[in-house]
Copies of this chain bind each other. A is one copy, B any other.
Amino acid sequence: MHKPKRTPKGRRSADSGERAYKAIRKQLVEFKLKPDQRINEMALAKSLGVSRTPIREALNRLASEGFIALTPNRGFFFKALDIDALLDLYELRAMIECGAFTLMCERASDAERDRLKDFWDGVKADYRERDPDDILVLDEGFHLLIAELSGNPEIVNQLKAINARIRFIRRIQIQHVSHDFDMVNTHSQIVDAAMKRDVAAGTALLKSHIEMTVSGAQRALKDALLNVYMEKSDSSSGRRASRPR
């Protein structure tokens, strides 16, 4: 009695809409498609082994989230995240995070703000030794926790949506370890400001923290675009072929 849901052949097994959404978003986030490239629904459907219906559902969701654009009767296009859009998103992110920090200082209880401190104390020691994927998760987690402690779920949602769109760049950026050190330090300072409910210090730190990463992000994006246009069809280099995770 271990789930009688046998899957005799290639029959419907799970929520393929959700799977399609995640798979496609992964491709977008990793720049598997070229900017402004048309997205072929049938090709996607075949490659994921489902029909066009869940594909279209996923594409519609992605369009709502700003990843892709829909032109009537011509289909979906991968919306290039150009430098301008990147700056805009970072700017919006800084704005929202500063607001969240302010609200947190005004409203979060001591116990709640302790959660932020505990979180950061728990990871800061070996933060720099972790691999980039972990760092990304932890960094997003840190900033999201501030958003949560603001007590405003809408802020959390917005921040999550923004994070998804800039995640790929941040991922590259983290590999360029240049200012990793500052990050650890700055996060600690932000925690200190939070414990003291020091709005001015915290927002100033956040603002410069995020804005400082912008120049790095620009470089990362340039690299990414270069890679995309250089074409990855030369399968010669298996640099990251057998990545364990």
Contacts and interface: CB of A to CB of B under 8 A. Distances in A.
A92 B57 contact: no
29 contacts: A18-B72, A53-B53, A56-B57, A57-B57, A57-B60, A60-B61, A61-B64, A64-B64, A64-B65, A66-B154, A66-B157, A85-B154, A88-B152, A88-B154, A88-B155, A89-B154, A91-B103, A91-B152, A91-B154, A91-B155, A92-B99, A92-B152, A92-B154, A92-B158, A95-B95, A95-B96, A95-B155, A99-B99, A158-B158
Nearest to A53: B53
Nearest to A18: B72
Contact of A155 (B60, B92, B154): B92
Copies in the complex: 2
A234 interface: no
Contacts of A89: 154
A99 B95 contact: yes
A141 interface: no
A126 interface: no
Query: Chain A contact residues: over half helix, strand or loop, or mixed?
Result: helix
A75 interface: no
A99 B53 CA distance: 40
Contacts of A61: 60-61, 63-64
Interface string A123-150: 0000000000000000000000000000
A49 interface: no
A88 B158 CA distance: 12
Interface string A1-42: 000000000000001001000000000000000000000000
A107 to B, nearest CB: 11
Nearest to A57: B60
A221 B63 CA distance: 30
A59 to B, nearest CB: 10
Given A60-B64, A92-B96, 17 more contacts: A18-B72, A56-B57, A57-B57, A57-B60, A60-B60, A60-B61, A61-B64, A66-B157, A85-B154, A88-B153, A91-B103, A91-B154, A92-B154, A92-B158, A95-B95, A95-B99, A158-B158
Given A64-B61, A88-B152, A92-B154, A72 B103 contact: no
Nearest to A96: B95
6 residue pairs, one from A and one from B, having the closest CB atoms: A64-B64, A95-B99, A88-B154, A88-B152, A92-B154, A60-B60
